[in-house]
Amino acid sequence: MNGDDACCEGALAAGCRFFAGYPITPATEVAERMSHRLPEVDGIFIQMEDEIASMAAILGGSWGGAKSMTSTSGPGFSLMMENIGLGICTETPCVVCNVQRAGPSTGLPTLVGQADMMQARWGSHGHYEIIALSPSSPQEMFDFTIEAFNLSEQYRLPVMIMADEVVGHMNERVVIPPADQIVTVERTAPTSDPAQYLPYQPDASGIAPMANFGDGYHMHVTGLTHDAKGYPTMTAEAQAWMVDRLIGKIRDNADKIISYDTMFLDDAEIVVAAYGISARSAKGAVLAGRQAGLKVGLVKLNTVWPFPEEFFSHLSTKVKALLMPEINMGQMVLELERLAQGRCQVVRITHPGGAIINPSTILAAIQDVFEETK
Partner 1 sequence: MSARQNRDPEPLHPHDELLRTDRIPHIWCSGCGIGIVFGALMSAIKKSDIPLDDIAVVSGIGCTGRMAGYIALDSFHTTHGRAIPFATGLKLARPQGNVIVASGDGDLLAIGGNHFIHAARRNIDLTVVCVNNFNYGMTGGQLAPSTPFGAKTTTTPQGSPDEPFNFCSLAAACGAVYVARWTALHIRRVTTAIGEAMNKKGFSFVEILAPCPTAFGRRNKMRRALDLLNFYYDRSVVKHGVHPDEASLDFNQRLVVGKFVDRERPTYLDSYHMVHQREIGDWPTIEHYSTMLAKEKTEA
Q: Which of 69, 19, 10 is nearest to 39 (CA)?
A: 19
Provide the angle, in degrees to the nearest 10, between the axes of the packed helices 3-14 and 138-155.
40
CB distance 145 to 97 below 8 Å: yes
- Shortest Å distance, C-beta 75 to partner 1: 16
**CB under 8 Å to 168, separation ≥6 — which residues?**
2, 3, 4, 7, 26, 27, 29, 30, 99, 141
- Is 248 a binder of partner 1 (CB under 8 A)? no
Q: Would you say 2 or 152 has its CB closer to partner 1? A: 152
Q: Would you say 61 or 103 has its CB closer to partner 1? A: 61
CA angle 60, 3, 26 (to 5 degrees): 70
From the list 134-142, 209-217, 239-247, 317-325, the region that binds partner 1 by CB under 8 A is 209-217
- Shortest Å distance, C-beta 56 to partner 1: 4
**314 vs 270: CA distance, rounded Å:** 14
Strand partners, 193: none
- Is 215 a binder of partner 1 (CB under 8 A)? yes
Per-residue string for binding with partner 1, 27-66, x by CB under 8 A?
Answer: ------------x----x-x-xxx-xxx-xxxxxxxxxxx
From the list 98-106, 133-141, 208-216, 366-374, the region that binds partner 1 by CB under 8 A is 208-216
204 SS3 class: coil
- Shortest Å distance, C-beta 344 to partner 1: 43
- Shortest Å distance, C-beta 117 to partner 1: 24
- Shortest Å distance, C-beta 231 to partner 1: 6
Q: Would you say 217 or 275 has its CB closer to partner 1? A: 217
- Shortest Å distance, C-beta 59 to partner 1: 6
Site for partner 1 in 332-361 (CB under 8 A): none
Q: Which of 143, 98, 357 is nearest to 259 (CA)?
A: 143
In the list 212, 345, 358, 361, the residue contacting partner 1 (rule: CB under 8 A) is 212
CB distance 324 to 271 below 8 Å: no
Residue numbers at the binding site for partner 1 (CB under 8 A): 17-18, 20, 39, 44, 46, 48-50, 52-54, 56-66, 68, 82-83, 85-86, 212-224, 231-232
